[in-house]
A = this chain, B = another copy of it.
Amino acid sequence: MTKTIGVGLIGTGYMGKCHALAWNAVKPVFGIEVTPRLAVLAEVDANLAKSRAAALGFAKATADWRTLIADPAVEVVSITTPNQFHAEMAIAALEAGKHVWCEKPMATTLDDAARMKAAAAKSGRVAMLGYNYIQNPAIRHIARLLDEGAIGQISHIRAEMDEDYMADLDAPFYWKSAASSGYGALDDFGVHPLSLIQTLVGDLSRVMAHQAKPFADRPARDGGRQPVENWDIASVLFETRTGVSGVMALNRAAWGRKGRIVLQIFGSRGSILYDQERMNEFQLYQASDRPGEQGYRTILTAPQHPPYDQFIPAPGHGLGFNELKIIECRQLLHLIAGESAVAVDFDAGFEIERTVHAMAQSDREARWVDLE
């Protein structure tokens, strides 16, 4: 008899489709026994829900996400709606006894995030966040290298994340520039490099941040100019609980950068570099190499870097961004099965949220803020 798991999907935008593709692919990629049963899809509009359900392979469609959560056919809920809805939906799903796979960030306020964390703890269900970059076989191999001391003791880390979707000076003001959407770069995407730092080096102990606006105002839709209410740029000094110093620099108005997340990890015996825009490679420098031939090795991901081997048996052929979500989906199923997994659960996710809010506070108060 085949084991199945009933899936509900709320939201079908960028990340909603990404979840749907992962649910369709996780079984054939990993050759697992359990079969995801795509049960219910929710969208804001009934017709949209219906057409998306047809396209993405879901059996039922609804315009009411509460119906989805109440449906006994649904055992796990993918939440991919705008951030302000995460808390309500995740808590409701957990309270209904469903597992939750919620997109990052957790919520728009720290209170909401705290409530989500509490709900997860109380539910006894799996509550996982969508931090897909940590699932890259390259990142996982970097984690293994750090663990085994390939670059000695970590002494310093630099992280950058840059895109250019807010770079156009002439683009009209839209919701991402409103205070209601959050701090700006810090919570809009700073949580991504933070998830990588958390996975590879650990949580932060104190932070000193500075936020900046490249443009004071933007064209208003009704003519004139409208003041920008948050910060497209954020730069942060920090220390980790393990005593490692670091810098994190974020810019969502960085012309030319499309999906850049750069890590530079320095240690007492070498260093490691990573750039998400070339996500199928990473660089390793080892001081133990022969003098005269020391240099950064550009290593292409390969079957030696699991779970790359589940996708392609040949090295250097490359995974895509969407495939990281398939790996993440596999982790979720591990967790649901009570197995160990690489994942950011609501506890770990709450640490990331707490860190982001401490950064914003540091900027407001122009001082270092402790996190421990």
Interface on A for B, CB 8 Å cutoff? 2, 14, 17-18, 20-21, 24-25, 27-29, 31-33, 35, 54-57, 141, 145, 150-152, 155-156, 158, 160, 163, 165, 167-169, 208, 210, 212, 214-215, 233, 235, 237, 239, 245-247, 249, 251, 253-260, 266-271, 277-281, 283-285, 287, 289, 291-300, 302, 304-305, 311-323, 366-368
Q: Given contacts A320-B320, A321-B312, is CB(A214)–CB(B156) below 8 Å?
A: yes
Expressed in whole angstroms, the Cα–Cα distance for A258 and B31 within the complex equals 25
The answer on a CB contact under 8 Å between B304 and A299 is no
Given contacts A214-B268, A299-B294, A321-B317, contact A28 B14 (CB under 8 A): no
Q: Which of B145, B253, B323 contacts A322 (CB 8 A)?
A: B323
Q: How far is the CA of A284 from the CA of B289 in the complex (A)?
A: 12
Q: A298 touching B299 by the CB < 8 A rule?
A: no
Task: Let me know if A302 and B57 touch, CB within 8 A.
Answer: no
Min CB distance A208 to B, Å, is 6
* Top 3 closest pairs, chain A to chain B, by CB: A258-B316, A256-B285, A320-B320
A305: B residues at CB distance < 8 A: 292
Which residue of chain B is the closest to A291 with respect to CB atoms?
Answer: B304
Contacts of A31 in B (CB 8 A): 55-56
Q: Knowing A28-B21, A212-B156 are in contact, say whether A300-B311 is a contact too (CB < 8 A).
A: no
Q: Which chain B residue lies CB-closest to A266?
A: B254
Nearest CB of chain B from residue A52's CB, rounded to whole Å: 8
B300 near A295 (CB under 8 angstroms)?
Answer: yes
Contact between chains at B284 and A295 (CB < 8 Å): yes
Cα(A160)–Cα(B159), bound, Å: 12
Distance (whole angstroms) from the CB of A325 to the closest CB of chain B: 10
Q: How many copies does the complex hold?
A: 4
Contact B321 A318 (CB under 8 A): yes
Q: How far is the CA of A145 from the CA of B258 in the complex (A)?
A: 21
B residues near A246, Cβ cutoff 8 Å: 235
Q: Tell me if B285 and A292 are in contact (CB < 8 A).
A: no
Provide the bound-state CA to CA distance between A319 and B259, in Å.
Answer: 13
Q: Which residues of B have CB within 8 Å of A208?
A: 208, 210, 237
Is the CB–CB distance between B165 and A245 below 8 Å? no
Instruction: Specify which chain B residues have a CB less than 8 angstroms from the CB of A14 in the assembled complex.
Output: 312-314
Q: With both chains docked as a complex, state the minimum distance between the C-beta of A188 and any C-beta of chain B, in angstroms.
A: 13
* Cross-chain contact A256 with B279 (CB below 8 angstroms): no
| Bound: A303/B304 CA distance, A | 32
Docked pose: A284 CA to B249 CA in angstroms: 20
Q: For the complex, what is the distance from the CA of A193 to the CA of B312, rounded to whole Å?
A: 20
Contact A169 B156 (CB under 8 A): no
Contact of A366 among B155, B215, B367 (CB under 8 A): B367
Residue pairs across A and B with Cβ atoms less than 8 A apart, 13 shown, are: A155-B214, A156-B214, A163-B314, A169-B268, A208-B210, A251-B266, A258-B300, A258-B316, A259-B316, A280-B318, A292-B304, A317-B321, A323-B323
